[in-house]
């Protein structure tokens, strides 16, 4: 089993369920043209998030790590018109591409994009008394995840679902010898989630066009 077959099956699912419309395809193309890192979630993962959003009837979503806006579009589409996505992106170039992709998707009124570090943006929201979010998707720099979790808990309510991307890293998460900073960051995040008396947490491994990785998922008690 290798990435080739995982990719083929993701393509099969995308085709079977008609996952990517012409807007999402154009968004991907815009990200490629702008030479953004090819690390967006896959279409099947995007629909998984969208179903989660719709299933919990989320009206307010926070995303940390916008990149080109691909996942943000999936998340925002899961909410009704009055729903709001606040998405935070550190890199100005990525934020610029995302903003035009949100406009292309007709979602710019539903989405607030903040071009700042996750840490500063979340602290600012806490200080401003930002209402709690129903779902929080962490997909930014991995060494920052543990801090984003701590801050996210101050922007959450009982029932808020917190999803974190890239918690498997090709299995390295279970390698005690791995010192790579992203893997170390993920392990700190998972340990913090596990240790939090406020959370129920688990993680699921995924294979697909994005290789071998996974999501963690927590709910605030």
| Binding residues vs ligand DHB (CB under 6 A) | 39, 139, 165-166, 182
CB atoms within 10 A of CB 201: 16
The backbone torsions φ and ψ at residue 139, rounded to the nearest 5 degrees and listed phi first, read -150, 35
Query: Minimum distance between the CB of residue 27 and ligand DHB, rounded to whole angstroms?
Result: 16
Q: Which is nearer to ligand DHB, 121 or 140 (CB)?
A: 140
Q: In angstroms, give the least distance from the CB of 39 to ligand DHB.
A: 4
Q: What is the DSSP letter of 140?
A: S
In this complex, which beta carbon is closest to Mg ion, that of residue 129 or of residue 172? Answer: 172
* Least spacing, CB of residue 67 vs Mg ion, in Å: 8
Distance in angstroms (rounded) separating the CA atoms of residues 180 and 197: 28
Coil, helix or strand for 188? helix
- Residue 20 or 165: which CB sits closer to Mg ion? 165
Q: Which is nearer to Mg ion, 169 or 177 (CB)?
A: 169
Beta pairing partners, 219: 161, 200
Tell me whether residue 132 or residue 217 sits nearer to Mg ion (CB atom). Answer: 217
Closest CA to 110 of 83, 92, 130: 83
> Nearest-CB residue to ligand DHB?
39
Which of ligand DHB, Mg ion, none does 42 bind, CB closer than 5 to 8 A by kind?
A: none
Instruction: Output the smallest distance, CB 139 to ligand DHB, in A.
Output: 5
Q: Tell me which residues touch Mg ion (CB under 5 A).
A: 139, 165-166
Least distance between ligand DHB and beta carbon 165 (Å): 5
Cα pseudo-dihedral 9, 39, 56, 47, rounded to 10: -30
Residue with smallest beta-carbon separation from Mg ion: 165
Could you tell me which of 132, 154, 165 has the C-alpha nearest to residue 62? 132
In which element (H, E) is residue 195 found? helix 181-195
- Choosing among ligand DHB, Mg ion, none, which partner's interface includes residue 34 (Cβ < 5 to 8 Å by kind)? none
**E strand or H helix at 135:** strand 133-138
């Amino acid at each position: 089993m290798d990435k080739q077959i995982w990719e083929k099956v993701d393509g099969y699912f995308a085709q079977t369920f008609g996952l990517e419309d012409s807007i999402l395809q154009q968004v991907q193309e815009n990200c490629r043209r702008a030479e953004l890192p090819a690390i967006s979630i896959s279409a099947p993962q995007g629909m998984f998030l969208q179903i989660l959003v719709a299933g919990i009837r989320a009206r307010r979503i926070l995303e940390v790590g916008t990149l080109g806006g691909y996942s943000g579009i999936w998340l925002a589409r899961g909410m009704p018109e009055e729903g709001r996505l606040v998405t935070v992106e550190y890199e100005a170039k990525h934020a610029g591409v995302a903003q035009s992709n949100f406009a292309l998707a007709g979602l710019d009124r539903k989405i607030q994009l903040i071009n700042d570090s996750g840490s500063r943006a979340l602290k600012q929201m806490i200080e401003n008394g930002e209402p709690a979010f129903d779902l929080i998707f962490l997909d930014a720099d991995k060494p920052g995840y543990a801090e984003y979790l701590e801050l996210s808990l101050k922007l959450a309510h009982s029932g808020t679902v917190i999803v974190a991307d890239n918690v498997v890293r090709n299995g390295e998460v279970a390698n005690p010898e791995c010192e790579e900073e992203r893997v170390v960051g993920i392990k700190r995040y998972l340990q913090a989630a596990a240790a939090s008396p406020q959370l129920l947490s688990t993680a699921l491994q995924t294979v697909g066009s994005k290789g071998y990785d996974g999501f963690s998922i927590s709910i605030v008690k």
